[in-house]
Structure 1
Amino acid sequence: MTVPEAIAALARGDAVTPVWRNLLGGLTFRLDAPGGAVRYAKWVAAGTPEIDLGAEAERLAWAGRWVPVPRVLQHGKDAGGEWLVTAAVPGVPAVDPRWVADPAVAAAAIGRGLRLLHDALPVAQCPFDWSVARRLRHADEHIAASAHSATGERSTVGGRSTVGEGPTDGAAGRRRVRLAEVRARLGEPPPVDRLVVCHGDACVPNTLLHGDGTFAAHVDLGSLGLADRWADLAVAAWSTEYNYGPGHDGHLYEGYGIEPDEERIAYYRLLWDVA
């Protein structure tokens, strides 16, 4: 993983270790100072969609008044990209091999950590929105972009001007139909069970655990905002299947202290997929 110039400059002689690359190309580095201090630096190239490190910095600063999250040290941007530097917090990600080998304990701890977040963050004081309405607007943008790219109008792929034609048109048409059907299903959300301040990306890697299997901290809060608690729960439990294998979603619900709500689980997983 190539270290961006901005991160090398921020390191100021600290050892730089790549630790994560997300699906959108965002990079995370560990910065180890000679004296033992540890920082983490996120970096994303300019113009990358879906990642707003400024929004994450704002949310971390707000949430950190009530729950354990990384402390923001620096945020900035230049022509090449944007970065966010935070102090290290105790614990390791719940995808650490230690916890992949003990998924029942890890999943229950994730559930307890999510309940702590939902109980601690004050709804009345939250300035951030992650509601169905907002996410559906985002979904509509995705669907419109997908439809536009499949109409045969000229677009650019890999630096080359292209136009949709031939056998792929049928597949694109079927995808448009499916997206329209899914969007129609999303138009009737279930009533809100309990309005909370949601994490916004409560997947397994975004919970840190202590060595004894207790909850340590939450990370990656760029989408934090007000929503039904099932918007978090449905995705968190779903993520245990991907990271630990099937059969551990129940441990997460048990750790949270709730019985599965199949209607809300199905709705919020579908919304996650589209939005």
Structure 2
Amino acid sequence: MSRPVTAETPTGPMGVPDVVAALAGGDTVTPVWRNELGGLTFRLEGEAVRYVKWVAAGTPEIDLPGEAERLAWAQRWVTVPRVIEHGADDEGAWLVTAEVFGRSAVDPRWITEPATAAAGIGRGLRLMHDSLPVDQCPFDWSVEGRLVRADERIADGEGPTDWSPEYRHLELAKARACIGDPPEIDRLVVCHGDACVPNTLLHDDGAFAAHVDLGSLGMADRWADLAVAAWSTEWNYGPGYDGVLYEAYGIAPDPERIDYYRLLWDMA
């Protein structure tokens, strides 16, 4: 079974927040993305193309000021969107970035060429992990910090019915014990933090172009990214492409770490 879609391209009418309309001025505004937490992304097209991410006030899971900081830091070494401005008001927060050339790996072009796309995602993730300097990274995505979020979700009443089908058979106490006993770190890197398929952009020849949506970027074991990136190929392309991603990254699957970081992803 595949995991439910948690973000999607809008298919019907979608309201444009007042601040987005103001930022657009006379530019054409096109909704391009909506996630399950209510975050919206719009394309503003005029003399130049810009993208605006907007989230309603009171949505702590999406930290746009934090993403702006991470993008500004990471752009010294890797290709990510350039921050133009960001801000907040009583209604919500927004982040405006410049266009980055490339197609999302969930573009219809790549849905029909999943093996090429999965390989591009793997190579792009390896490039990020090799390029971003751990010793200069001020951001954290460690297991310890993520366990705090897992406990908050448990306290809010979340449990197995909220997890992916692969883990719904687990009892809550057993699952919490599992994520509380992480495997030894394989290689500490600066992780993307949400390396799912939609967040990689590819050139038309399948070469890696850029990463987007880096609101959780921080230091962690590389398997925290790898396990979920490969998992998301199944959600977006169907089964059988995780191995393509691992091979392109240059690593053999590690079943123990894959299982651990997928369960942690579900719970945290």
| TM score, norm. by length of structure 1 | 0.88
Counterpart of 1:71 in structure 2 is 82
2: CA distance, partners of 1:17 / 1:179? 42
Supply the distance in 2 between the matched residues of 1:197 and 1:89 (Cα, whole angstroms). Answer: 21
- Aligned with 1:188 (options 181, 199, 205): 181
Name the SS for the 1:146 alignment partner: coil
Aligned to 1:82: 93
2:257 is aligned with 1:244? no
2:218 to 222, 225, 232: 225
Q: 1:245 is matched by which residue type in structure 2?
A: G
Q: CA RMSD in A?
A: 1.3
| Larger radius of gyration between Structure 1 and Structure 2 | 1
How many residues align structurally? 246
| Map of 2:11 onto structure 1 | none
* TM-score normalised according to structure 2 size: 0.90
Cα offset for 1:179? 2.0
Q: Which residue of 2 aligns with 1:261?
A: 254
SS in 2 for 1:192: coil
Q: Give 1:66 deviation, angstroms.
A: 0.3
Of all paired residues, the percent bearing the same amino acid is 75
Within 2, Cα distance between the matches of 1:78 and 1:219?
Answer: 24
Give the equivalent residue in structure 1 for 2:51.
40
Matches within 5 A, 1:135-146: 135-146=146-157
Q: How does 1:126-137 map onto structure 2 within 5 Å?
A: 126-137=137-148
Matching residue's letter, 2:263: L
CA shift, 1:178, in A, is: 2.3
Structure 1 counterpart SS, 2:58: coil
| 2:35 corresponding residue in structure 1 | 22
CA distance in 1, matches of 2:101, 2:233: 22
Deviation, 1:203, is 0.1
Aligned to 2:26: 13
Q: Which runs of 5+ in 2 are unaligned?
A: 1-13, 160-167
Counterparts of 1:69 and 1:187 in 2: how far apart (Å)?
33
**Which of 197, 206, 210 is the equivalent residue of 2:203?**
210
Structure 2 counterpart SS, 1:221 = coil
Q: Could you say what secondary structure the match of 1:270 adopts?
A: helix
Q: Distance in 2 between matches of 1:108 and 1:261?
A: 18
Q: Give how far 1:205 is off.
A: 0.1
